[in-house]
Structure 1
Amino acid sequence: MRSSLALIATAGLVAVALTGCATAPAPEAAPGNSSEAITVTGKLGSEPKVSFPTPLEPAETQCTEIIAGSGPLLEEGQLALVGFAVYNGVTGDQIAAQGFDEAVPLATNNQPMVGFTKALTCAREGSRVAVVVPPKDGFGPNGNASLQVEPTDSLVVVMDVERAFPARADGTTQLTRDGFPAVVLAPDGRPGITVPQIDPPKSLQQETLLAGSGQVVEDGDTVVVNYTGVLWDDGTVFDSSWENGAPVTFTVGADAQVIPGFSKAIVGQKVGSQVAVIIPPSEGYGDQGNAQVPANSTLFFVVDILGVI
């Protein structure tokens, strides 16, 4: 079933794209007769009971807030913990339900299904929204035979946004030492990095660029971060969640899912912090390297610590 649902969302880390906004976020879907016809009962965070007349066949994606959330609408670059249920809007059959026992992370980028994008643009932390997605914003002209969705079938989505994470660190600016790479932030928080033309240190070195005031990250935690990594030798960006369009989550500490130096830089830091770390080869990709990192490379990362799941 996991592969069948890949076009909706994966069962673990999934991404949903927003078109973005220069100022305040604006919803990309409004209430309509179809979304207002959906009846939803149950508590936020528990799998809802959903009923609606069939067929629902709107020309455009419609979205109605069932449970009012708090704070601003979700915007580009955020990650949220979400539960969602999906139904065929023509037959009424349930297609999937995920995240209600344990909410799944949805990031506001990279989702191939436009309807999920538009669903998140009308949601905020604590929201439950009911969305009706026409075929053009769903599986498109081919439908999805494995899910028994015909090319002309709409989708009904009920989505709970249990928790939303910021897109960038919000800590207090700190001074850094001389000779450390310079970091300049774009308006959206994306870091620009200039590496000094000096030999790198032989050991791991780190600085706190923005000091957060949130939860302390502990060994074994799953964290939400945005990051950019460059090669010390020439400043080339070899990996960046900012460039990939979405924050990421991973485990840090003894069972870390990332290179040792990256994990060590995060454990003990507070949520809301932005840290910068120089990682020698022994704490990075060593004498093997990988497709993006030459062997024996010193690396430099800037990491925004956005939350702990």
Structure 2
Amino acid sequence: MRRIAGLLVVPALLLSTAACGSEEKGSDSSPSQGGLPAITEGAKFGEKPTLAKGEGTPPKKLKVEVISAGKGAVLKKGDQAQVNYLGQEWDENKPFDNSFDRGQPFDVAIGGQGVIQGWQEALKGQKVGSRLEVSIPPDLGYGAQGQGDIKANATLVFVMDIVKGTTVPVSADGAEVPQNDTALPKVGTNTDGKAPSVTIPKTDAPKKLVSNYVLEGKGPEVTDKDTVVAKYEAYIWKDAKQFDSTYKSDSTVSWPLAQVTVEGLKEGLIGKKVGSRVLLVIPSDKAFGDKDQNGIPKNSTLVFAVDLLAKA
């Protein structure tokens, strides 16, 4: 969602608003038959690849070729994947980004937010341990607006190594913690995967950060170095106006906490246990301060009900 994308500083693979497209797949472990750029070096899984410049007109639809098939689990909606990648524009001979040099795979919520639609479509149904080469048309990438150094209407080519896949629960499942403070929002305790209710009192918002368990899980505590997989409901305290929800889009998010720029969101989740539902009340000085933020008025106190489902 656009409003929450601004909370993170991530690599070039940002959320796209493009619609889904169709998918074509090539043959397993064979040379490219569909005209995708050749992998000129580092052809094996785990090796940093180099790509030749694309020739001719790029595919108009998403095209996925399995360079080598893994033996791991098949990625399905709701799973969390870690992917090493190199990305290059079709008509260029130098990459615009790669994770191999950083030594850290990119975290992706399958069917979730945080990456362009072409990535989501390419990864869904693939096996962990696979290497893919993928061409992504503009409508499933960055479209007419481009992104950073990526040109407008660019067809993108990626080599992707699916390093890891994790099944993510549909809901927090911890023990209920009493919610006795009537001056704070009350959050529903359902564990059926549906959105929890959030009832905000018609009183003044607290001046300090609130981070309380609603359901206390039994998983490991979250640190500032972790990437967490979460679902959430998000409101503005004033008028109890909802401004974002992963439940409405039936998705999850991956938050690398070291890169979260909203101070209260980061502080409020560090130290909480995986499997928990957490109420966060974030005063404006730990949120967006005196600046409007994509429909969130300046000086707004924010309310989050966050399910910490997994660590990537």
- Fold match by TM threshold 0.5: yes
Q: 1:164/1:272 Cα in 2 relative to 1: closer, same or farther (>3 Å)?
A: farther
1:99 correspondence with 2:104: no
Question: Could you say if the C-alpha distance between residues 67 and 15 of structure 1 is closer, same or farther in structure 2, counting changes exceeding 3 Å?
Answer: farther
| Structure 1 residues 208 and 32, CA gap change in structure 2 (3 angstroms) | same
Partner of residue 7, structure 1: none
TM-score, length basis structure 2: 0.63
Instruction: Give the drift of 1:29.
Output: 2.8
1:130 is matched with 133
Per-residue deviation, 1:59: 6.6
- 2:272 and 2:28 map into 1 onto residues whose CA distance is 47
User: Greater shift after overlay, 267-276 or 234-243?
Assistant: 234-243
**Stretch deviating more after TM superposition (206-215 or 196-205):** 196-205
Answer yes or no: is the 8 Å Cα contact 2:208–2:283 preserved in 1: yes
Matched, 1:234 2:234: no
Tell me the distance in 2 between the aligned counterparts of 1:204 and 1:46. 45
Structure 2 partner of 1:82 = 83
- Over the aligned positions, Cα root-mean-square deviation in angstroms equals 4.9
Partner of 1:48: 49
**CA apart distance, 1:16:** 6.0
Counterpart residue number, 1:251: 257
Partner of 2:220: 215
Instruction: Trace 1:1-309 onto structure 2 (pairs within 5 A).
Output: 11=11, 14-15=14-15, 29-32=23-26, 36-38=30-32, 42=43, 44-48=45-49, 60-65=61-66, 66-68=68-70, 70-75=72-77, 80-86=81-87, 93=93, 95-101=95-101, 102-106=104-108, 108-109=112-113, 115-133=118-136, 156-164=157-165, 166=168, 169-178=171-180, 179=182, 180-183=185-188, 189-197=194-202, 204-219=209-224, 221=226, 223-240=228-245, 247-251=253-257, 257-260=261-264, 262-280=265-283, 288=290, 290-291=292-293, 292-293=296-297, 295=299, 298-308=301-311
Instruction: State the 1:105 CA deviation.
Output: 3.8
Residue-pair matches, total: 283
Measure, in 2, the Cα distance between the counterparts of 1:231 and 1:189: 20
Query: Which consecutive residues of structure 2, in runs of 5 or more, have no partner in the other structure?
Result: 1-9, 33-37
Return closer, same or farther for 1:203/1:11 CA change in 2, 3 Å cut-off. Answer: closer
Q: Separation in 2 of the partners of 1:281 and 1:170? A: 27
Amino acid paired to 2:281: I
Shift of 1:236: 1.0
Matching residue's letter, 1:275: V
Task: Name the CA distance, whole Å, in 2 between partners of 1:224 and 1:211.
Answer: 16
1:278 touches 1:298 (CA, 8 Å); kept in 2? yes
Q: Secondary structure of the residue that 1:14 maps to in structure 2?
A: coil
- Aligned AA for 1:258? V
After superposition, the Cα gap between the structure-2 partners of 1:139 and 1:298, relative to the gap in structure 1 and judged at 3 Å, is closer
Matched residues in 2 for 1:19 and 1:187: separation?
28
- Whether the aligned pair in 2 keeps the contact of 1:18 and 1:121 (CA below 8 Å) is no
Which residue pairs with 1:24 in the alignment? none
Q: Give TM-score, length-normalised by structure 1.
A: 0.64
User: Displacement, 1:148?
Assistant: 9.3
2: CA distance, partners of 1:134 / 1:36: 23
Inter-CA distance 213–168: structure 2 relative to 1 (3 Å threshold): same
| Aligned residues of 1:85 and 1:159 also touching (Cα < 8 A) | yes
SS in 2 for 1:265: helix
Q: Distance in 2 between matches of 1:143 and 1:280?
A: 34
CA contact (8 A) 2:235 2:242 kept: yes
Report the equivalent of 2:3.
Answer: none
